[in-house]
């Protein structure tokens, strides 16, 4: 190779007469070099973009952290002020929250009492829901008014067959009933000594929730079953009962056992079967038996014609026992088996009975009426009544 060719190659020049293979090799080397530069540029841009996005995310997330903490502690001032009111009667904190507009939905005038803090209210509500009363299977609604109206269409819209040329006959119109459920005031009056309230180790909120829930649950359970409707909910057993063969709206139908004050001695389970199939098919799918412990003790001994028990215990913890495949609610306020007693109820209570209540619970502290004790006057408003008379049937221990 001459000196000229060596200089040309060293300077990157392509002399005339270079072989095609050498030209391709040189061109490919140049392309790969440019592509590598392009890749490096893309990586650099992506890295810068990622750094900018990370910084932007941090800026956006930083102001949200205090907001989340503030949301978690939004009800803490009311809780602290309510605790101070329970222990010492100091309501300045609650009044301050009301005036500042921080708790307009939870603080009311001292004459009417103060609403309990959300945690205590939730504890009481959960205890009421878990108690063995009609509340566990009934339709429960929250209202802000003094009553709740249920509209019931208990007849079918008329229908008929029509041909292409025949005149269409006017069909019957449905009948709508309005059932008004008034709300009544339910109250409890637990008391504690001031010395006990001054003890910081005493859980005032937990104690108050347990006492109020116990009183409310027992009063409610009895009223929903047998209440007379005078300043209390009206129970389903308070409505007129008729033989199911002649049942009509505003009455509750019953099936008789055929024996006064007892089951039939030879075929006791027949009455249970008749009770189940007295209820309409549209209600049976969601139906529940209700009876007290004494009645349950008698029923669980029953067997069918093949010697199999009609009663079966729940397979899992917390699952109710079943009678003929339907769940059983053991409510101690149901009457015992006796002459003419309607000791067993069967029905779809989510359709047949409605409980209406206001979601708030008020507490008024009274340190004067029972010195040296402090009384806590707790009130809530609740009502209940039958909302569908066809959805509930009774077993009556009578000849007919």
**How far are the Cα atoms of 85, 188, 189 from residue 91, in angstroms, in the given order?**
5, 21, 19
Cα–Cα distance, 349 to 281 (Å, whole number): 14
Report residue 104's pLDDT band, with 50, 70 and 90 as the boundaries. very low
Q: What is the pLDDT of residue 336?
A: 97
Q: What is the pLDDT of residue 95?
A: 56
Q: What ranges do the domains of the chain cover?
A: 115-153+176-400
Q: Is it the case that residue 106 has pLDDT exceeding 50?
A: no
Q: What is the pLDDT of residue 384?
A: 97
Over residues 358-397, the pLDDT tens digits come to: 988 888 888 888 888 888 888 989 999 999 999 999 999 9
Residue of 173, 139, 133, 137 lying closest to 387 (CA atoms)? 139
**How far are the Cα atoms of 51, 54, 56, 83, 195 from residue 89, in angstroms, in the given order?**
57, 52, 50, 9, 14
User: For 115-153+176-400, which CATH class?
Assistant: alpha beta
DSSP 246-263: G--TTSEEEEE-SBTTB-
Q: What is the pLDDT of residue 107?
A: 37
Q: Is it the case that residue 71 has pLDDT exceeding 70?
A: no
Cα–Cα distance, 266 to 41 (Å, whole number): 96
Over residues 178-221, the pLDDT tens digits come to: 899 999 999 988 888 888 888 767 777 777 878 888 888 889 99
Would you state the structure tokens that stand for residue 388, as one six-digit string? 């569908």
C-alpha torsion angle, residues 17, 19, 24, 30 (rounded to 10): -50
As a whole-number percent, the residues of the chain with pLDDT over 90 amount to 40
Over residues 212-232, the pLDDT tens digits come to: 888 888 899 999 999 999 999
Which pTM does this prediction carry? 0.69
Report residue 327's pLDDT band, with 50, 70 and 90 as the boundaries. very high
Q: Is it the case that residue 109 has pLDDT exceeding 50?
A: no
More confident residue, 38 or 148: 148
Q: Is it the case that residue 247 has pLDDT exceeding 60?
A: yes
Report residue 172's pLDDT band, with 50, 70 and 90 as the boundaries. low
Q: What is the pLDDT of residue 37?
A: 77
Q: Is it the case that residue 25 has pLDDT exceeding 80?
A: no
Would you state the structure tokens that stand for residue 195, as one six-digit string? 């010395």
As a whole-number percent, the residues of the chain with pLDDT over 70 amount to 69
Pairing of the two strands 147-153 and 139-142 = unpaired
Q: Is it the case that residue 62 has pLDDT exceeding 90?
A: no
Partners of residue 392 on adjacent β-strands:
347
Question: What's the rounded mean pLDDT across residues 237-259?
Answer: 96
Q: Is it the case that residue 157 has pLDDT exceeding 60?
A: no
Where do runs of H (alpha helix) occur along the chain? 3-10, 20-61, 64-72, 76-88, 92-100, 118-130, 194-198, 204-226, 269-278, 281-284, 293-299, 349-352
Average pLDDT in the chain: 79
Residue 352 near residue 388, CB atoms below 8 Å = yes
Whether the link from the prior residue into 297 is cis, omega within 30° of 0, is no
Cα-based angle 281, 298, 316 (whole degrees, multiple of 5): 65
């Amino acid at each position: 190779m001459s000196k000229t060719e060596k200089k040309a190659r060293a300077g990157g020049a392509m002399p005339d007469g270079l072989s095609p293979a050498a030209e391709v090799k040189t061109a490919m080397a140049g392309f790969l070099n440019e592509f590598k530069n392009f890749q490096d540029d893309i990586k650099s841009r992506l890295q810068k973009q990622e750094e900018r996005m990370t910084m932007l995310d941090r800026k956006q997330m930083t102001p949200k952290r205090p907001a989340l903490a503030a949301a978690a502690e939004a009800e803490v001032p009311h809780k602290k002020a309510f605790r101070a009111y329970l222990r010492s009667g100091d309501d300045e904190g609650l009044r301050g929250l009301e005036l500042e507009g921080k708790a307009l939905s939870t603080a009311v005038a001292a004459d009417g009492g103060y609403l309990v803090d959300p945690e205590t209210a939730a504890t009481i509500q959960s205890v009421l829901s878990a108690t063995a009363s009609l509340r566990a299977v009934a339709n429960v609604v929250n209202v802000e008014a003094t009553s709740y109206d249920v509209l019931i269409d208990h007849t079918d819209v008329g229908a008929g067959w029509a041909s292409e040329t025949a005149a269409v006959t006017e069909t019957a119109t449905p009948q709508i009933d309005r059932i008004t459920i008034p709300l009544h005031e339910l109250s409890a009056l637990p008391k504690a000594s001031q010395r006990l309230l001054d003890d910081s180790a005493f859980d005032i909120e937990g104690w108050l929730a347990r006492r109020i829930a116990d009183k409310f649950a027992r009063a409610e359970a009895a009223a929903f079953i047998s209440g007379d409707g005078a300043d209390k909910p009206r129970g389903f057993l308070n409505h007129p009962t008729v033989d199911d063969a002649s049942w009509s709206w505003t009455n509750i139908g019953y099936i008789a056992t055929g024996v006064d004050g007892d089951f039939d001695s030879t075929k006791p389970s027949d009455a249970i079967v008749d009770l189940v199939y007295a209820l309409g098919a549209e209600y049976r799918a969601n139906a529940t038996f209700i009876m007290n412990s004494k009645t349950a003790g008698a029923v669980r001994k029953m067997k069918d014609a093949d010697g199999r028990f009609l009663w079966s215990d729940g397979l899992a913890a917390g699952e109710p026992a079943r009678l003929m495949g339907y769940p059983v609610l053991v409510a101690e306020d149901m009457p015992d088996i006796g002459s003419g007693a309607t000791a067993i109820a069967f029905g779809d209570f989510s359709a047949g009975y409605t409980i209406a209540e206001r979601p708030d619970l008020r507490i008024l502290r009274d340190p004067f009426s029972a010195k040296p004790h402090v009384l806590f006057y707790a009130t809530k408003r609740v009502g209940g009544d039958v909302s569908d008379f066809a959805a509930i049937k009774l077993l009556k221990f009578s000849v007919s």
